[in-house]
Amino acid sequence: MLRVVVLASLVAFAGCHRQADAPGDAPSGLALDPGDGQVTVSWNQQSGLTYWIFFQAGSTVTAAATGVPLIFDAQSPRVVAGLANGAQYAFVMNATNQDSKAGPSTPVVFGFPRLAGAIWKPGAPIVGSVPRNLNGVAFGTARLVAVGDSGSIFSGDYNYTNASPPGVTAWTPASVPLGFASDLSAVIYTGQFVALGTDGSVLTSPDGNTWTSTSATPPAPSITTAGATMNGLALGIVSGAARYVAVGTAVAGAGSIFTSADLVTWIPATSNTPNDLFSVSFLNGGFVATGAGGALLTSPDGTTWTVRNSTTSTALRSTAFGTGSAAAGARFVVVGDAGTILTSIDGTTWNLTTLSSLQNLRGITFGSRFVAVGQGSTVVYSDDAVNWVPAPSNSGDLAAITPAPAMYVAVGALGANAVSK
C-alpha cells in the first residue's frame, strides 16, 4: 500500500512539472538598426518568453545551427556589437516559454554595420534659465558633459539605444561652486572631468554632476593669466607623468601657454608665437596647439614649443589624429575658418586643403573616422583625411565634437547639439 502511495505521489509531481508548451508564433516586429561596428535588434517583446538571437556574417543563418553565435535571454532593444563595418550579417530569432522547446523562427533579416558620422539627428534639448552657447563637450564613464557661457555645465547619461532623442536621454544642469559665473571654453575627461574657464578658472568633477574649483578660494581663477582669455585644455603623459596644458590669447606679444602637473599650480611656458591660441591637444605622443593667423605649434612636453609652417594665415581652431583607411595611414588633421583643413603625417610638414562652400570649422575629432563641425550646421567627415563629405546636422552653429562608443556628439550656439550613430 505504501508503494502505491509513493508511486502515485511521484506521478502527480511529474505532472505538475511537465515541460511548458512552446510559443505558437515567431517573435513579431523584428527590425535591425545599423550602427558603427554593431546592429541594434528590436522586436515586440512579450512577458514570460525568453528570446534567442542567432546571427552570422553572410546571406543566411539557421536558428540553433552548430557554430552559429547566439544571444540568450535577449531584451529588446539589444545591441549586437563587434561586427565588421560594410559586411552583411544575417539574423534570425525564436523564443521559448520557460523551459519549453523553441517556437517558430522569424524570417531571416539582414543588417549592414556602417561608420557613424554621416547621419545626424538633433539631440535632447539643453535647457537652462537662459539659452547658453556651448563651447566644449567630453565623454567619460558612460556620461557626456557639455560646458558653455556663464558657468553653464550640463551632463547626460550615454544611452545608445534611445531613439528619440538619440544618444542622450536628457541633459541636466550640473552643480557648480557658489558664485561661479566664468564662461567655460573647454572640457576634457582624464579619469575625471576637467573644465577650463576663460578667466583661468579650473573645475573638476568625478561624475559630471558636482563640480569643485581647484583654486584655494573658489571661485577665484587657478591660472594667473594677466588678462589672457583661456581657450583650450589638454592632458598628456610626459616621461610617465601627467601634464596638463592650457592655452589662450596673446599677452605681451605672445600666445599664452601654461602647464601643470596637478591642476593647482600652473607654470607659464614660452609659446614663440605672437598669435592668440585657440586649442591644444595631446596627439600621438605630443602636444599640438593652434590659433589665429595660421598659428600652429608642436611640443613634446608642453614646455618647449616649435612653430610650424601651416602654409595659411587663416585662424586654426582644432586638431585630431587618427588612422583612416589602410591606404591613407595615420594623419594629423587641423581645421579652421573658411573651410580650412591641414593634414600632416609627422606633425612637422603640413599640407593645406580648402573645402569650397564651407563656413568656419570649429571642432574635429577621430572616432572611427575624422568628423569636423562648424558654423551653419556644418558637418564634414572623411575616412582618409583627403576626401571630405558634407553631412548637414540641421542643428545650428556647432563649436565642439566628441566621440562616444559607436557615435558622435556635437554642441554649439544657444544649446545646439546633434548626435550621429
Mean pLDDT of the chain: 93
Query: For position 51, which CATH number holds?
Result: 2.60.40.10
| One domain for residues 101 and 225 | no
Higher pLDDT, 216 or 284: 284
The span from the CA of 21 to the CA of 300, in Å, is 68
Ranges of beta strands (E only) in 190-299 are 193-197, 202-205, 212-213, 230-238, 241-251, 254-260, 267-269, 277-283, 286-291, 296-299
Statement: residue 165 has pLDDT above 60: yes
10 inside domain: no
Are residue 225 and residue 264 in the same domain, yes or no? yes
The arithmetic mean of pLDDT across residues 124-148, rounded, is 91
Q: Examine the domain organization and report whether 51 and 176 are in the same domain.
A: no
pLDDT band per the 50, 70, 90 thresholds, residue 18: low
Same domain membership, residue 91 and residue 192: no
> Can you give the residue range of the structural domain that contains 32?
28-111
Flag whether 360 is in a domain: yes
Model confidence pLDDT, tens digit, residues 98-118: 989 999 999 999 999 999 999
Is 100 strand, coil or helix?
A: coil
The average pLDDT across 332-338 equals: 97
pLDDT at 325 over 80: no
Q: Which of 55, 86, 111 is the last residue of a domain?
A: 111
Q: What is the pTM of this model?
A: 0.92
| For residues 262-277, average pLDDT | 96
CATH label of the domain that carries residue 348: 2.130.10.10
pLDDT in tens, 168-209: 989 999 999 998 999 999 999 999 999 999 999 999 999 999
Co-location of 332 and 256 in the same domain = yes
Check whether 162 has a pLDDT greater than 80. yes
Pair (42, 130) in one structural domain: no
pLDDT at 155: 97
Q: Tell whether the model's pLDDT for residue 6 goes beyond 90.
A: no
Shared domain for 314 and 396, answered yes or no, is: yes
Residues 103 and 128 in one domain: no
Cβ within 8 Å of residue 321, ≥6 positions away: 281, 283, 284, 330, 331, 332, 333, 366
**407 near 115, Cβ under 8 Å?**
no
Instruction: Quote the pLDDT of residue 327.
Output: 66
- Interval 368-378 mean pLDDT: 95
Is 16 within the bounds of a domain?
A: no
